[in-house]
Structure 1
C-alpha cells in the first residue's frame, strides 16, 4: 500500500485572503496572512474507468482467488478516492475469498485506526505482518495506531524498526520523533538530529525535520514549502504534508487552535491516499474532544 501517490494535477496557488465562506474571523486569526492553498485534487479519470471495469468483471464466473483479488483492487480504488466505507466493505470481502491478502489487512488496519477501533487495527496489522513479515508499511501503520492509542513505547519500537529498513526516509524519521516526543522531548530532539544526518538535505521532508529540530521558524517553513516540487509531485500533495506536520508542530507548541486550522488545510487538498490526509481528520476529532472536556 503506497503511502504517497504521485499524481498529475497541477494545483493553483491562492492566498487565504481571497477565500470566502464559513470560516470565522477568530479562526482565520490563528493563521499567517500568506497561507498558500491548492486546487483540491480530483479523482483520476482512469480510476473511474477501472472501478466500472472491475464491477463488471465481478459479475463473471471467477475462482475464489480471482474474486478476492478483484475485491481488493476495487477496495484500493475506493480508498484512493475517499470512499472509505465502500473500501472497507471490499477489503473484508476480499479476505473472505482470499484470507492471505496481506495488503487488504494493512488497509483495514489503517481504516480501523482512523475509526479509533484499535483492537481491530492491531489484529489486522498483525495478520498482515504474519502473512508478509517484510511488508513495507505494516510496521509504520501499526506504529501509528499505537501512537494514537497512547502506547508510546511499543509505537517507538515499531517505528524504529520501520526506520532501520530505510534510514534515509525523512517521514520515517518524523513519525519516530512524534512518538519519542511523547516519551521524552529532550531525548526525542537529540535522536531527531542524529537520524537527520542520514537524510538527503535536498529532500523536501528535511525541511519538516529542521522545523521540529528548532532550526527553522514557521515563517521560514511556510516560505519554503512550495519550492522545488518534484516532476511527479503536485502542489496539493506538498501542501497536504506541510499543513499536517505544521498541525503536529503546533500541538507540540501547545496551540491546539492553530493545529486545528492546519489539519483542516491538509484535508482541503483531497489527497486521500497520503498518510497525512488519513490522520488529519482523526487529529481534528481528538482536539475537539479534548477542548470539550476542558
Structure 2
C-alpha cells in the first residue's frame, strides 16, 4: 500500500500562484512540483511525553535524573514543533545539570531561530567547551554565523564539520553556501573539488549536481521519489529538496520562487529537520520580520 501511495504522490502536482497577476487574467503557476501529505505527528512521541511528565512528578528523583527527563521530554516537544515547551524543558535541564552539552546545542538552535545570534553563539560555545567532539555544534554554530552575516567564520565551522565526515553531501553543501556569500566563483570551484569525495549513488548527491549545474531542476524533481521506501522518508526528502531549491533560486535573485519553495518545505511538517526549521527563519528574513 505504501509503494502504491508513493507512486501516486510522486506524480501529484501542486501549482503555486504568483504574487503578481495581470488584471482580468488568471494567476500563472510558478512551480509544478511533486508533493505529499504533511508528515503526521508520531503518537509514540506523545505517549512518551505523557510518560516523562508522570515520572517528573515523582519526589525521589535526583537532580541528574530530573535533568535527563527534562532533556528527553524537550527533545520530543521539539520534534513535534512545540518549541516554547521544549525551550522551557531545556532551560530546566541545564539549571539542574549545567554540563549537558546537547542541551546547549538545542538552545543555540532555538535562539538562532529567534534571530538572537549572539546568545546562540554563547550556547554553541558552551556546548563545545563541554564537548569539543560535539560535531553538530559546529554545524549549528556555523548556521547561526551564516544567518548572523558572518560567512567567513561560518565557513570555518562548516569546514570543521565537513572534516569529520568528508563523504557527506549536506556538509559539502553548507560549506558552499557560506563561501558563496564571499566569492561565488571560488565557492563553485570548491564545491566541485569537495564533491570528488562523495558517493554519487546517494540521493543527496543530486543536490550537489543541482548546485554545480550538472542536473536540471526538472530532472532533479522527476527523480526525487527514486529509492523511497516509506511516506515518512518521502516527506523528509521533499523537505530537504524544497529548502535547497529555495536557496538555489534565492541566490539567483528569484525571490518569489525561493519563498514558494521555503513554504513547501514547511508544508512537509518535518519539524526535526534543520531544513524545516530554517525555512521558517528564511521566510521571516525575507519579509523583514523580527522573531525575537
Q: Which residue of 1 aligns with 2:115?
A: 116
For structure 2, list consecutive stretches of 5 or more residues without a partner in the other structure: 22-26
Please state how far the C-alpha of 1:53 moved relative to its aligned partner: 0.3
Distance, in Å, in 2 between the alignment partners of 1:95 and 1:152 is 30
Pairwise CA distance, 1:16 = 1.1
Residue 136 (structure 1) shift:
2.7
Residues 205/113 of structure 1: CA separation in 2 closer, same or farther (3 Å cut): same
TM-score scaled by length of structure 1: 0.89
* 1:57 corresponding residue in structure 2: 55
Residue 32 of structure 1 aligns to a residue in which SS? strand
Retained in 1: the 8 A contact 2:31–2:257?
no
Hey, what's the Cα distance between the residues in 2 that align with 1:219 and 1:232?
22
Q: How does 1:163-242 map to 2 (within 5 A)?
A: 163-229=162-228, 234-242=233-241
The answer as to 2:34 corresponding to 1:36 is: yes
Structure 1, unpaired ranges of 5+? 1-9
CA displacement, residues 170-220 of structure 1 (integer Å, 9 cap, x when unaligned): 000001100000000000000000110111101111111111111112111
TM, length-normalised to structure 2: 0.90
Deviation at 1:90, TM superposition (A): 0.5
Return the offset for 1:64: 0.5
The alignment covers a number of residue pairs equal to 276
**1:194–1:58 distance in 2 versus 1, CA, 3 Å:** same
> What RMSD over aligned residues (CA atoms) do the two structures have, in Å?
1.9
| Residue range with higher mean Cα deviation, 106-115 or 232-241 | 232-241
Q: Where do 1:141-160 residues align within 5 Å?
A: 141-160=140-159
Per-residue CA distance 1:231-277 (angstroms, 9 max, x = gap): 79621101000000000000111101100000000000000000100
* SS class of match (1:142): helix
Higher relative contact order (CA 8 A, sep 6+): 1
Q: Deviations over 1:94-138 (max 9, x none)?
A: 001011111110000000001110011001000110111001300
Would you say the 8 A contact 1:95–1:104 is kept in 2?
Answer: yes
Determine whether 1:16 maps to 2:14: yes
Alignment check: 8 A CA contact 1:30 1:261 kept? no
Provide the C-alpha distance between the structure 1 equivalents of 2:144 and 2:66, rounded to a whole number of angstroms: 29
1:230 Cα deviation after fit? 5.2
Counterpart of 1:104? Answer: 103
State the Cα deviation string for residues 43-64 of structure 1 (Å, max 9, x = none).
1111011000000100002101
Return closer, same or farther for 1:29/1:163 CA change in 2, 3 Å cut-off.
Answer: farther
